[in-house]
Structure formats: C-alpha cells, structure tokens
C-alpha cells in the first residue's frame, strides 16, 4: 500500500498549498511556448508534455537579475542591494531531468561563495517531480546515468498510475515530507499500479566519452573541427540547458545612476572570451564547441564530481542545424581507440 494523489484532487491540492503560503508553478503553454508559470487551478497546467521548452532553471537563475541599484551624487554614493524576495514556491510537475539540473548546479552556486540569489530561491522552493510516462527521440537521461523516474533534485516524486487517474506519492526529502503534510487529507492509501516507464535507449557510452576527453591528446583533435563545422554559433543550446550557468555582469544606466545586472552569457558567443586587448583565445566555433563539451563532461566533473548534463536533450531538440550534445558524444563513443 502506498499513498496516491488523484488527478481530480489537484485543485484542492493547489488550494491547500496556496493557503499554506506557497505560489504554485507548473508547466503552462503561453504564446506558443511551453514553460513553467504560476497557476491558479489544475486546468492551467499542461502536464502531458514530454518536456517544457524552457527549463525551471529560469526561476532560480533568471535570464536577467538586478543585483544593485546605484546613485552617484556630488559628495555621496548610494547603493542598494537587490536580493530576490523570500517567496515560498511549489514547482509541480517538474521532469526528472530538470530537477536533476538544479541538483547539478547546487555545488557550483555554493562553491567558493554562496550565491544568495540562487539559494534564497532554492531554499524556499519545493520540487515535485513527476516521473515520465513518455519520451521522445531526443531524451537521453539514461545515457548520463539518470532515469525517467530519477528523484535527484526532487523533494517529492510522483509516479503516474497506469490508469491515468493520478500519481503514487513519495517524499524524498524533509522539505517534501513537510509539503505532503499540508495535503495529507487529500492523499489516500492504494495499491494501484504505476504506469510502465518509457524506454529511453542509451545513446552513448558516457564512460568512454569521459575517458577520451580526459586524454590531453584529444584537446587538439581534428574531431572538434569536423563535428562543429555546421554550428552557427547561436546560444540556444546553452540557454535552454537546465545546467548551463554562465553569466555576465552589466551596468545599465549612466555615470550617475543605474542598475547592475547579472545576465545569462554563453560559451557559444565569441564575445564570451574576448580579451580587452582584442585577442580571443577561443576564436573559432570549434574551440567554443569543444569548451562546451569539455566543461560538461570533463572540467565540471573534475571539480564537482558530477557531469553537467541531465540528459533532457533540449540542445538537440531545438538546435536550428540539428546539432547538440548527443551527436557529439555518440561520435566520441565510436571513435577508434
């Protein structure tokens, strides 16, 4: 016997969370795009998507974030730090790959300096993951050693019931247990079966990939030039990625007043590494693509013990020239050795 949440109890569930002071964010469709947005009722949610086009990362590490307001007077400089509000949020219907993305990025934002902007949002958020019941051609969670029902990064894991009537409920963190207490009267004991997980074939051998990347001889390989020939150097793969986290700091305003902002940046852009001297150490697209792969499957792992990829496949799904990480890693797996 396990506890289940029925789909038809979802509205009550939302009401209970709102009453407990949470905003609820779930997959929504707006202006021909799917993303996570605030919802008031169950019918606002688009729970049947394989994945939303935008990741939940956007709600923890926004594309543009005001950091400081400044004003420079004749005799005085005033500045005001702008930290995000401590708003309690439930993210309902997160896919396992997106939840894992948050967990992958946690050590980065808490490494030598604890990023208040990330952790204020993380600490006030509860992640309710729904295990996948469908996958598409681009999904590759199993290739990075995750799975369609991974609970990594989740506080609560829901598994769809085979008759589609609801989900089996499991708390996977203290925060999740506390959240479930707020809806305890809506949960019921049941022995209903869960739906089978979708088959996500392993598309590459990540061990082989990591081994090849770690070999210093690979750095100057012709492979990078050949594979990245058609890359047009847009940043869509990086911006849609649940784990990419590079940013730039910009002052907007004039000499006397303005706002300092933290904006997303991308290793795909030449400007990313441009020196003030005009020299660019990564001055071709192949060196930038190499950096992206090396960062995800070599450097990040070296520093934080985990690969910076959760296998969502968005980089390939949305690439205007049908590139993406999968093809590159497949090609590396198949290199003669």
Asked whether position 316 contacts other proteins by CB under 8 A, the answer is: yes
Among residues 327, 300, 299, 301, the alpha carbon closest in space to that of 313 is found at 327
Within 8 A by CB and 6+ apart from 212, the residues are 218, 332, 335, 337
Asked whether position 235 contacts other proteins by CB under 8 A, the answer is: yes
Q: How far is the CB of 263 from other proteins (least distance, A)?
A: 5
Residue 191 or 276 with smaller CB distance to other proteins: 276
φ, ψ for residue 256, nearest 5 deg:
-100, -30
Q: Which of 236, 280, 286, 333 binds other proteins (CB under 8 A)?
A: 236
Residue 138 or 300 with smaller CB distance to other proteins: 138
Could you give the CA distance from residue 173 to residue 9 in angstroms, rounded to a whole number?
A: 23
Residue 22 or 117 with smaller CB distance to other proteins: 117
Asked whether position 152 contacts other proteins by CB under 8 A, the answer is: no
Asked whether position 107 contacts other proteins by CB under 8 A, the answer is: no
Q: Which residues of 67-82 are buried (b: 16+ CB within 10 A; e: fewer)?
A: beebeeeeeeeeeeee
Q: Binding segment for other proteins among 39-47, 142-150, 192-200, 229-237 (CB under 8 A)?
A: 229-237
What pairing do the DSSP bridges indicate for beta strands 156-160 and 125-130?
parallel
Q: Which of 171, 293, 323, 325 binds other proteins (CB under 8 A)?
A: 323
Asked whether position 102 contacts other proteins by CB under 8 A, the answer is: no
Could you give the CA distance from residue 9 to residue 49 in angstroms, rounded to a whole number?
A: 20
Asked whether position 44 contacts other proteins by CB under 8 A, the answer is: no
Residue 103 or 240 with smaller CB distance to other proteins: 240
Asked whether position 248 contacts other proteins by CB under 8 A, the answer is: yes
Is there a contact between 6 and 26 (Cβ–Cβ < 8 Å)?
A: no
Asked whether position 239 contacts other proteins by CB under 8 A, the answer is: yes
Write each residue from 182 to 211 as x if it is in contact with other proteins (CB under 8 A), else as -, in one continuous string.
------------------------------
Rg for the chain (alpha carbons), in Å? 22
DSSP helix, strand, coil percent of the chain (3-state; round to 5): 35, 25, 45
Number of residues that bind other proteins (CB under 8 A): 39
Is there a contact between 309 and 320 (Cβ–Cβ < 8 Å)?
A: no
Residue 22 or 138 with smaller CB distance to other proteins: 138
Could you give the CA distance from residue 149 to residue 268 in angstroms, rounded to a whole number?
A: 31
Residues found near other proteins in the complex (CB under 8 A):
30-33, 53-54, 63-64, 137-138, 229-230, 232-236, 238-240, 248, 250, 252, 261, 263-264, 266, 269-271, 316, 318, 320-324, 326-327
């Amino acid at each position: 016997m396990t506890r289940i949440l029925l789909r038809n109890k979802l509205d009550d569930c939302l009401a209970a969370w709102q009453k407990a002071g949470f905003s609820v964010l779930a997959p929504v469709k707006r202006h021909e795009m799917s993303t996570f947005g605030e919802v008031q009722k169950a019918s606002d949610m688009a729970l049947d998507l394989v994945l939303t086009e935008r990741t939940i990362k956007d709600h923890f590490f926004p594309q543009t974030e005001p950091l400081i307001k400044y004003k420079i007077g004749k005799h005085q400089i005033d500045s005001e730090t702008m930290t995000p509000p401590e708003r309690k949020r439930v993210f309902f219907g997160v896919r396992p790959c997106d939840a894992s993305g948050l967990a992958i990025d946690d050590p980065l934002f808490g490494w030598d300096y604890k990023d208040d902007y990330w952790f204020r949002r993380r600490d006030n958020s509860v992640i309710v993951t729904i295990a996948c019941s469908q996958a598409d051609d681009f999904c590759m969670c199993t290739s990075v050693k995750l799975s369609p029902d991974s609970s990594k990064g989740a506080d609560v894991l829901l598994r769809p019931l085979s008759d589609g009537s609801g989900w089996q409920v499991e708390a996977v963190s203290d925060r999740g247990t506390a959240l479930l207490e707020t809806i305890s009267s809506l949960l019921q004991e049941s022995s209903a079966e869960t739906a089978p997980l979708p088959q996500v074939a392993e598309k590459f051998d990540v061990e082989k990939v990591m081994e090849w990347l770690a070999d210093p001889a690979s750095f100057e390989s012709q492979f990078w030039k050949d594979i990245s020939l058609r890359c047009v150097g847009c940043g869509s793969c990086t911006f849609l990625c649940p784990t990419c986290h590079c940013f730039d700091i910009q002052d907007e305003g004039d000499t006397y007043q303005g706002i300092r902002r933290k904006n997303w940046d991308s290793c795909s852009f030449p400007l990313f590494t441009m020196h003030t001297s005009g020299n660019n150490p990564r001055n071709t697209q192949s060196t930038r693509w190499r950096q992206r792969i090396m960062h995800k499957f070599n450097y990040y792992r070296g520093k934080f013990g985990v690969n910076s990829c959760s296998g969502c496949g968005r980089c390939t799904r949305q690439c205007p020239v049908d590139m993406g990480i999968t093809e590159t890693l497949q090609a590396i797996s198949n290199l003669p050795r």
